[in-house]
Amino acid sequence: MKTESARLFFALWPDEAQRTALTAMTESLPAGLGRHVAPANIHITLLFLGAVAAETRQALEAAATRIAASPFVLTLDHYGYWRKPQVLWAGSRVTPPELRGLVEQLQRAASACGLSVDNRPYQPHLTLCRKVRQPPQLPKFLPFYWAAADFSLVESRSAPGGVRYEPCRAWALRVDVDSTSGPHSVE
């Protein structure tokens, strides 16, 4: 029996104000650099999953609901360029511990659902432009403070004009219950 599957990833998905600011960042790049990420597609990948079957997705969403990670601020503070995939990105020199913890929990949740996950060290980055052939001369980087209040499960669909990302569901980041529930009983 053929089961339905979708191409999925977890991401930080911008709200409208964040999207507007980040679109300005992509638009400030020199013309002719490559293919700018469409404003509607701007995001930061937390964990790429690939094709996920419908039953697995249910289990994954249930596991995501159990994740406890606090809100955080991610400072995008520099441009980076990867030669092989020809990608220009905005990155953060410091990964907030809450973000690291969130990604680790997502990796464990995905593994527990039988998905194979990328175990390379997580490097938060926001892709700005693809098909960049040469590391370019760039304008001065203006830091961007991304206040993350939730994380999203996003579907990647191929569309006539290129890929389109569709956020399906978001979970609020919440202060760890254990650290706010007052004095702990000592056993």
**55 and 3 in contact (C-beta within 8 Å)?**
yes
Give whichever of 105 and 156 is closer to ligand ATP, judged by the CB atom. 156
Q: Which two tokens stand for residue 168?
A: 């399906």
Give whichever of 7 and 78 is closer to ligand ATP, judged by the CB atom. 7
The backbone torsions φ and ψ at residue 179, rounded to the nearest 5 degrees and listed phi first, read -85, -5
Confirm whether 125 is a catalytic residue. yes
Confirm whether 78 is a catalytic residue. no
The reply to whether 151 sits near ligand ATP by the rule CB under 6 A is: no
Q: How far is the CB of 52 from ligand ATP (least distance, A)?
A: 12
Residue 91-130 contact track with ligand ATP, rule CB under 6 A, x = bound: ---------------------------x--------x---
Give whichever of 7 and 174 is closer to ligand ATP, judged by the CB atom. 7
Let me know if 187 is exposed, middle or buried by CB neighbors in 10 A (0-12, 13-18, 19+).
exposed
Q: Which listed residue (163, 168, 175, 176) binds ligand ATP by CB under 6 A?
A: 163
- What is the longest distance spanned by two Cα atoms in the chain? 65
The DSSP call for residue 57 is H
Q: How far is the CB of 174 from ligand ATP (least distance, A)?
A: 25
CB atoms inside a 10 Å sphere around CB 157: 11
Q: Which residues are catalytic, by number?
A: 43, 125
